[in-house]
Structure 1
């Protein structure tokens, strides 16, 4: 891992794989709010994913006269946000005991509540602002195949119920092996766990959010990678691009796995990891109305995550499933340190292609006449050694802020 973490991080690459959600790209994909790059700004946000868009929206809502410029290296929402599996899912029980140990019970409870409330608020925001993003609150199920993991999960859920009595963030239901097969269509599991979650197209959600920001005065500059930034006098930062330099009072790095490319001090601190996702046409034995819940499949070394496309959506009934890292060579170690989302790994693709039939067994049936895989793509996430994100003003650098390294969790 030390060797992989030391691989120099570069800016996003041109011609990435086209994610299921980004086909076709939205009308603002290549938008430049002004033909020329603004010379000055109160705030420059680097990155147009859910983090950058959310920050822009909140700043412009609270301080409408703020001059906000957003720089995006490629198309709008072309990074991890627009490339994920479509889950809004916390699975807080999987990290709660670890968080209790590392940050204490009080903060572990705060984290679990934050995760739950974020899910609820995202769906509420999409409804309130009529963002067309296949917004769907639904139950999710974790299908567990490993007895040790099942035992750990039960203990974690018991701990959450004991320390967070009655809180919706601690509301989990345990199901038997028979239930997993008969109710959730997955034979061979130790058991299943259900709880509140949801799904949406994060790409459409963030594009909708960016449009709200544009209506509030955001200046969006796509296809404008920032190559370097430095202090300019006491009160300004100079942000250099191929199209010119912007001088800003404040900067927010919303660059996740790419952060070290423009902030070399964070090389080996935020390590990129390439993830992979596939979209499957449903088998002939799958429910004709589509699955009514999202899934995760959890086994000894790793997991896969899956959402069904809802009725009325494009390609309704499709199953979007990602993961496969643990089965790759060296347990997926070689996927760390790369920012190359222009390609996919053939071994992981082969594995993900087989997952739906493997997990659903006889309930899958025959493949669709057009083939099982409709589309496959990759995306770049950001990870830290301690498993926590970096959020806030960077110590010793007044006016320089960061919100990055979400361990694959902050991009749904």
Structure 2
């Protein structure tokens, strides 16, 4: 893993595989023919993190001179490539979090994840953003007895910790109950747990947030990759392939690509390429589509699945991703990889046959047009301790960061961006935001050993 973590991080690949969610009206947005010479705040990255940071800055009215640069098309990174799974699976990481950061921090993290889900969907509803936002029940179906026993234990730990407090309302199901309720007729089911979650068309949601920001004065430039940051007396010179912008402060919402600009994060935010497929529904699935989202937990990994709701362009389509452990050496060579113009053949084979395997007779026959409509990849960012980095970068006054979301961005980014803007404005966010997420020199000294918390966690990935 040391070798993979030390691979120099590149800019985003210029010609990535087209994701399932490619129709983005803001994709090539250019505020003007030339970049501005100066801006108060410059945000690098136009995914959900960058968009939410911009919204919080502009809606508060404290900073109205905000510029955003994106290396490729708007929202063409992990946000525009994931399945839009607003699912926390907090129980999976909760026992480890207690061990590593204490019970109060662990509870704060679990509360933040659930709050993030609810806030994201509430924002979409409040502002009328058309993004397939839906709240629903999700289910983690277990195919391994050891993993299932750990699940039951972890749910018990959460119930003991939170008492009567609403922490997502976990419900355990026997193997027979899981097969009957969730249509998982494949072999090997040992149990399931269901709880509150949701799904959202992430690129459309971000497009809606950014349109609101543009109305408030955001200057947005796609296809403007940043190549260097240079400290100057009045702030930072941001060097791009289109020229230079001087900024009083810079915010990196660059997730897995961060170390390309800040070598301090080499081996501290490690890219990991994830893989996703979109399946046409089998003939035996309900015409209205499946009502739940899913994760499928097996001995050394997991897959996650989000059905498209009725009334969409491809109703009933199933987005299913994961399968990292099915690659060579359990996916070792996907770490440090930033080329999302390619797929991993081993993962492809696993994902292509996954739906028929999990649903068995409940799947039925494949569509006459074939099972897989599209397949693509994307780049996530992972940290040594399994937590995001949120705050000002040590030794770089005026440079702020919100990155390393562990393939869990749809339940971390919204609230992390809100916290970052609070920190930028000198606010105390410790009452609700985990201090374990803040950037510290101690955290930057830790060695990356691979994914934490997310093994079989069922997060949305890319």
Q: Which residue of 1 aligns with 2:4?
A: 4
Q: Which residue of 1 aligns with 2:361?
A: 362
User: 2:346 matched to 1:347?
Assistant: yes
TM-score (norm. length: structure 2): 0.87
User: 2:122 matched to 1:124?
Assistant: yes
Looking at structure 2, the residues matched to 65 and 353 of structure 1 have their Cα atoms a distance apart, in angstroms, of 47
Q: Which residue of 2 aligns with 1:87?
A: 85
Match of 1:88, SS?
coil
Looking at structure 2, the residues matched to 137 and 304 of structure 1 have their Cα atoms a distance apart, in angstroms, of 20
**CA deviations over 1:21-50 (Å, ceiling 9, x no partner):** 11x3x2211011121100001100000000
Q: Which residue of 1 aligns with 2:441?
A: none
- Name structure 2 gaps, 5 residues minimum: 411-459
Looking at structure 2, the residues matched to 393 and 289 of structure 1 have their Cα atoms a distance apart, in angstroms, of 47
Runs of 4+ in 1 over 4 A off after TM superposition: none
Match of 2:409, SS?
coil
CA RMSD of aligned residues (A): 0.9
Q: Which residue of 2 aligns with 1:138?
A: 136
Looking at structure 1, the residues matched to 409 and 97 of structure 2 have their Cα atoms a distance apart, in angstroms, of 16
**CA deviations over 1:62-89 (Å, ceiling 9, x no partner):** 1255210101000000000000012000
Q: Which residue of 1 aligns with 2:158?
A: 160
Contact 1:136–1:198 (CA under 8 A) maintained in structure 2: yes
Contact 2:393–2:399 (CA under 8 A) maintained in structure 1: yes
Offset of residue 384 of structure 1: 1.1
Looking at structure 1, the residues matched to 79 and 58 of structure 2 have their Cα atoms a distance apart, in angstroms, of 21
Looking at structure 2, the residues matched to 21 and 4 of structure 1 have their Cα atoms a distance apart, in angstroms, of 29
Looking at structure 2, the residues matched to 277 and 124 of structure 1 have their Cα atoms a distance apart, in angstroms, of 27
* Closer/same/farther in 2, CA of residues 402 and 390 from structure 1, 3 Å limit: same
Q: Which residue of 1 aligns with 2:66?
A: 68
User: 2:391 matched to 1:397?
Assistant: no
Q: Which residue of 2 aligns with 1:293?
A: 292
Offset of residue 209 of structure 1: 0.6
Looking at structure 1, the residues matched to 302 and 382 of structure 2 have their Cα atoms a distance apart, in angstroms, of 17
User: 2:319 matched to 1:320?
Assistant: yes
**CA deviations over 1:239-289 (Å, ceiling 9, x no partner):** 001211111111111000000111112111110000000000011111122
Contact 1:164–1:170 (CA under 8 A) maintained in structure 2: no
Looking at structure 2, the residues matched to 340 and 256 of structure 1 have their Cα atoms a distance apart, in angstroms, of 15
User: 2:53 matched to 1:55?
Assistant: yes
Q: Which residue of 1 aligns with 2:25?
A: 27
Looking at structure 1, the residues matched to 68 and 322 of structure 2 have their Cα atoms a distance apart, in angstroms, of 31
Looking at structure 1, the residues matched to 210 and 393 of structure 2 have their Cα atoms a distance apart, in angstroms, of 26
- Name structure 1 gaps, 5 residues minimum: none
Contact 1:296–1:306 (CA under 8 A) maintained in structure 2: yes
Contact 2:184–2:358 (CA under 8 A) maintained in structure 1: yes
Match of 1:20, SS?
coil
Contact 2:324–2:330 (CA under 8 A) maintained in structure 1: yes
Q: Which residue of 1 aligns with 2:332?
A: 333
**CA deviations over 1:105-134 (Å, ceiling 9, x no partner):** 001001000000110110010000010101
Offset of residue 168 of structure 1: 2.0
Offset of residue 181 of structure 1: 1.1
